[in-house]
């Protein structure tokens, strides 16, 4: 009879196979084929459970529309709307190219190329893109579990706990429910794939794995620049979870550094950073960038990092925008700085003290610090002060740490070998029971939060309930309530139009009360006054915004529209020309300039009718204006083939030129473009 182990001996054995797996792996001993197949089947089943949880939690986003940042990179982006034809251009241009705004800071072609391909398959179909997001997120859950179990030498409990926590966490709703969040999903997904192939290379010594790791890491960079932080994460994973000698890390890490350098060089060339400056960060995007008090800037950054930490434990309320003035500026004496600072300091001390012991909780803490650093506004100021999507990758550190703590709830007795998922759940019923409760709570919040992301109006209306001091949210809702497409659908219903404008003005005035120099809100107020034919009020607000931002192409274009409507054609012409100068890829001012030339041509024709003796002089001038008008409208169509008003302008102008065939051709194209726009 085998000797019965004492409690002390059992605990000693438990420590030797910490976080033990239900099919313990003896190092350097080859598994029997049947046992190996059983372990693989169990691992595959658990991975599929993680993927299924991920998919089900976000299934209610599959019928969602475009929202928030989706518009700038998909339906309002002329390059993306080229479909497959635009993919090559996407890899040669900045992330926001294809809109009238200039961008010298972001190069993320992979997700945008996918959006273009999806548009090519099914134009203006957000449901397809939402499905892709959810499918990629589910795949991420599966591969995350696989990667963690690989690095943890086949142990499955912590990988399973951490992976389920990750896919269930509500802080990911922005990244998954918002199509544009694809950059976060892909960046993290390809990091996981990189980590898998690095491990495979180091354990199997096959060069093919190293090549695949380099390719995956490059794709991670093409998804988002924050992949740079994973250069520190991968060696940390190898150190904490494997016995691979540190010296063996050298070759794969040198290769990953080389990949990073290649990407940064490509980014530098594409963005032409030797010619252009990224420019200052706008106050409304990140108010910390405008703080003159360095101490207050960093104290506020720590405060917001504290908000992220709180949301990891208690993910409510969640908001799509935390810009000025939702989170107030704080100083070093404010408790909102002191509390997170002390907590983070304590976590850092714990991680340092437990580093040599390869404590899993310590790894989770260090991983969070490394991956969150680039989004924290502490080492450097970024383009936003807050975004839950920024915690997509860093949240894994929290999930791993919590999983390691939950794993301690298991029985002290050594677990018996298990072969099925059911036996696995039964063996670890205590930690998995707690995980189930957390998953239900997180899942409910995730499922509920997804509903807010249905479309812009739903999102902004919902989030203003919890972020009433966000100037940008008030502006977003005001803009949405008075957007041209919505007003056009109201037709001749003047009552509903006035109600829409009144509601919009309420939100826009609220935005200005929080941030008086909020130029977007000011110009939108002017635009609504213009739509209501209140020209004096419109001029008042546009004069105000033009003094604040005279080089903004959108403001110049809208100011030109105002001048055109009040009959000041020369001023309108100058404004449209300025808009083109400030943003050459902006289609609208080209067509608006065409309207100016068309109006000038029509005036000359009328003058010739009044003065027949000058017809030989005036008619050629009119024709020249009409021809110039056509050239500008055609340029607008070239820049934006879906800009239906430009086709109408060309058709009208060809009518003045007497070309009936061209007039009918472009009227037909106008109707087609209008139909594509859903009007």
Element (H, E) at 361: helix 360-373
Cα distances (angstroms) measured from residue 517 to each of 163, 508, 513, 548, 605: 45, 12, 9, 8, 44
288-297, 452-461, 512-521, 616-625: which range is least confident on average?
A: 616-625
Is residue 470 a part of any domain in this protein?
no
pLDDT at 550 over 70: yes
**pLDDT at residue 410, as a whole number:** 78
CB–CB of 525/562 below 8 Å? no
What is the tens place of the pLDDT at every residue in 474-504?
999 999 999 988 888 888 888 899 999 999 9
Mean pLDDT of 500-515: 96
pLDDT at 297 over 60: yes
What is the tens place of the pLDDT at every residue in 159-200?
999 999 999 999 999 999 999 999 999 999 999 999 999 999
Is residue 26 a part of any domain in this protein?
no
Instruction: Report CA torsion sign: 261, 112, 472, 448.
Output: negative
Nearest to 401 by CA among 448, 446, 467, 354: 354
pLDDT at 263 over 90: yes
CB–CB of 414/16 below 8 Å? no
CB–CB of 165/116 below 8 Å? no
- Taking every pair of Cα atoms in the chain, the longest distance, rounded to a whole number of angstroms, is 125
Is residue 423 a part of any domain in this protein?
yes
8-17, 340-349, 662-671: which range is least confident on average?
A: 8-17
Last residue of a domain, one of 400, 420, 449: 449
pLDDT at 291 over 80: yes
Q: Which residues are bridge partners to 99 per DSSP?
A: 97
For residue 77, give its domain range. 32-449
**Cα–Cα distance measured from residue 408 to residue 183, given in angstroms and rounded to the nearest whole number:** 35
CB atoms within 10 A of CB 671: 15
158-162, 202-206, 639-643: which range is least confident on average?
A: 639-643
Mean pLDDT of 622-638: 93
Q: Which residues are bridge partners to 97 per DSSP?
A: 99
**pLDDT at residue 102, as a whole number:** 64
**Token pair in block for residue 90:** 């996407």
Phi, psi for 99 (deg, rounded to 5): -115, 175
Mean pLDDT of 653-676: 90
Contacts 24+ apart (CB under 8 A), 652-660: 652/598, 653/594, 653/598, 653/601, 653/626, 653/629, 654/630, 656/598, 656/601, 656/602, 656/605, 656/622, 656/626, 657/623, 657/626, 657/627, 657/630
CA angle 216, 221, 224 (to 5 degrees): 130
**pLDDT at residue 675, as a whole number:** 82
The gap from C-alpha 571 to its chain's centroid, in whole angstroms, comes to 39
Nearest to 482 by CA among 515, 514, 526: 526
Nearest to 371 by CA among 278, 233, 471: 233
Is residue 501 a part of any domain in this protein?
no
**Token pair in block for residue 406:** 């939950």
Task: Name 588's Cβ contacts closer than 8 Å, sequence gap at least 6.
Answer: 100, 557, 579, 636, 643
**Cα–Cα distance measured from residue 452 to residue 64, given in angstroms and rounded to the nearest whole number:** 10
Residue 14 pLDDT grade (very low, low, confident, very high; cuts 50, 70, 90): very low
**pLDDT at residue 388, as a whole number:** 97
Mean pLDDT of 124-146: 98
pLDDT at 157 over 50: yes
CB atoms within 10 A of CB 364: 25
What is the tens place of the pLDDT at every residue in 357-409?
999 999 999 999 999 999 999 999 999 999 999 999 999 999 999 999 999 98
- Report the CATH number at residue 645: 1.25.40.10
Cα distances (angstroms) measured from residue 470 to each of 281, 459, 465: 18, 13, 10
What is the tens place of the pLDDT at every residue in 611-629?
888 888 889 999 999 999 9
**Token pair in block for residue 13:** 């054995």
Bond from prior residue into 406 cis (ω within 30 degrees of 0): no
Where is pLDDT greater, at 21 or 558?
558
* Count of residues making up the chain: 679
pLDDT at 413 over 80: no
Contacts 24+ apart (CB under 8 A), 264-269: 266/107, 267/107, 267/225
Is residue 621 a part of any domain in this protein?
yes
Residue 18 pLDDT grade (very low, low, confident, very high; cuts 50, 70, 90): very low
**pLDDT at residue 585, as a whole number:** 86
CB–CB of 535/565 below 8 Å? yes
One DSSP character per residue, 547-579 reads HH-TT-HHHHHHHHHHHHHTT-HHHHHHHHHHH
Is residue 679 a part of any domain in this protein?
yes
**pLDDT at residue 34, as a whole number:** 63
On the 0-12 / 13-18 / 19+ scale of CB atoms within 10 A, 601 is buried
CB–CB of 584/553 below 8 Å? no
**Token pair in block for residue 352:** 């340092």
**Cα–Cα distance measured from residue 511 to residue 324, given in angstroms and rounded to the nearest whole number:** 10
Instruction: Write down the pTM of the prediction.
Output: 0.90
Task: Report how many domains make up the chain.
Answer: 2
Residue with tokens 């109600």: 499
Please state, for a pLDDT cut of 90, what percent of the chain lies above it: 78
Phi, psi for 505 (deg, rounded to 5): -65, -35
CB–CB of 83/117 below 8 Å? yes
Nearest to 329 by CA among 301, 348, 363, 355: 301
**pLDDT at residue 412, as a whole number:** 52
CB–CB of 289/280 below 8 Å? yes
Last residue of a domain, one of 425, 449, 473: 449
Is residue 151 a part of any domain in this protein?
yes
Do 202 and 339 have their domain in common? yes
Do 281 and 134 have their domain in common? yes
Is residue 392 a part of any domain in this protein?
yes
Last residue of a domain, one of 449, 484, 506: 449
When the pLDDT of each residue in the chain is averaged and rounded to a whole number, the result is 91
**Cα–Cα distance measured from residue 46 to residue 552, given in angstroms and rounded to the nearest whole number:** 53
């Amino acid at each position: 009879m085998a000797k019965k182990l004492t409690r002390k001996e059992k605990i000693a054995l438990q420590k030797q196979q910490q976080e033990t797996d239900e099919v313990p792996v003896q190092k350097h001993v080859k598994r029997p084929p049947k046992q190996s197949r059983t372990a693989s089947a169990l691992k595959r089943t658990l991975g599929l459970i993680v993927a299924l949880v991920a998919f089900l939690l976000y299934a209610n986003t599959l019928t969602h529309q475009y929202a928030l940042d989706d518009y700038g990179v998909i339906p309002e982006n002329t390059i993306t709307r080229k479909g497959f034809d635009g993919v090559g251009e996407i890899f040669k241009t900045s992330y926001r190219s294809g809109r009238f705004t200039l961008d010298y800071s972001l190069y993320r072609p992979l997700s945008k190329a996918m959006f273009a391909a999806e548009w090519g398959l099914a134009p203006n179909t957000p449901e397809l893109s939402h499905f892709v997001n959810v499918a990629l997120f589910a795949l991420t859950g599966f591969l995350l579990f696989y990667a963690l179990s690989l690095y943890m030498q086949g142990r499955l409990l912590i990988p399973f706990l951490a992976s389920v926590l990750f896919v269930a966490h509500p802080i990911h709703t922005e990244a998954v429910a918002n199509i544009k969040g694809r950059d976060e999903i892909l960046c993290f997904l390809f990091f996981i794939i990189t980590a898998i192939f690095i491990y495979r290379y180091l354990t199997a010594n096959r060069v093919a794995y190293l090549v695949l790791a380099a390719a995956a890491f490059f794709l991670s960079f093409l998804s988002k620049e924050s992949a740079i932080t994973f250069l520190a994460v991968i060696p940390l994973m190898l150190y904490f979870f494997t016995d691979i000698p540190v010296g063996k890390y050298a070759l794969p890490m040198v290769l990953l550094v080389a990949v990073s350098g290649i990407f940064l060089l490509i980014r530098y060339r594409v963005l032409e950073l030797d010619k252009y400056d990224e420019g200052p960060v706008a106050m409304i995007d990140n108010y910390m960038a405008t703080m003159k008090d360095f101490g207050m800037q960093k104290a506020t950054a720590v405060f917001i990092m504290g908000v992220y930490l709180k949301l990891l434990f208690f993910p409510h309320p969640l908001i799509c925008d935390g810009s000025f003035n939702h989170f107030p500026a704080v100083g070093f004496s404010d408790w909102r700085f002191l509390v997170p600072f002390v907590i983070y300091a304590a976590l850092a001390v714990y991680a340092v003290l437990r580093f040599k012991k390869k404590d899993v909780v310590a790894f989770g803490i260090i991983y969070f610090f490394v991956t969150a650093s680039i989004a924290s506004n502490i080492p450097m100021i970024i383009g936003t002060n807050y975004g839950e999507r920024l915690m997509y990758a860093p949240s894994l550190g929290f999930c791993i740490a919590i999983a390691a703590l939950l794993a301690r709830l298991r029985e002290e007795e050594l677990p018996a070998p298990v072969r099925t998922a059911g036996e696995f759940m039964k063996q670890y019923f205590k930690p998995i029971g707690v995980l189930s409760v957390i998953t239900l709570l997180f899942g409910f919040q995730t499922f509920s939060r997804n509903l807010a992301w249905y479309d812009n109006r739903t999102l902004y209306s919902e989030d203003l309930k919890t972020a009433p001091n966000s100037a940008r949210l008030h502006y977003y809702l005001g803009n949405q309530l008075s957007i041209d497409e919505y007003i056009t659908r109201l037709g001749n219903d003047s009552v509903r139009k006035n109600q829409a404008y009144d509601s919009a003005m309420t939100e826009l005035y609220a935005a200005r009360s929080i941030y008086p120099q909020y130029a977007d809100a000011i110009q939108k107020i002017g635009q609504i006054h213009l739509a209501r034919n209140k020209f004096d009020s419109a001029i008042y607000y546009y004069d105000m915004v033009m003094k604040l931002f005279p080089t903004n192409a959108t403001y110049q274009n809208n100011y030109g529209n105002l001048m055109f409507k009040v009959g000041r054609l020369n001023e309108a012409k100058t404004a449209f020309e300025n808009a083109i100068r400030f943003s050459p890829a902006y289609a609208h001012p080209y067509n608006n300039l065409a309207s100016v030339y068309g109006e000038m041509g029509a005036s000359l024709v009328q003058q010739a009718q009044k003065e027949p003796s000058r017809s030989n002089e005036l008619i050629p001038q009119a024709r020249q204006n009409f021809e110039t008008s056509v050239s500008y409208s055609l340029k607008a169509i070239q820049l934006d083939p879906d800009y239906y008003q430009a086709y109408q302008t060309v058709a009208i102008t060809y009518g003045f030129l007497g070309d009936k065939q061209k007039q009918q051709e472009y009227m037909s194209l106008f109707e087609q473009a209008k139909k594509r726009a859903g009007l």
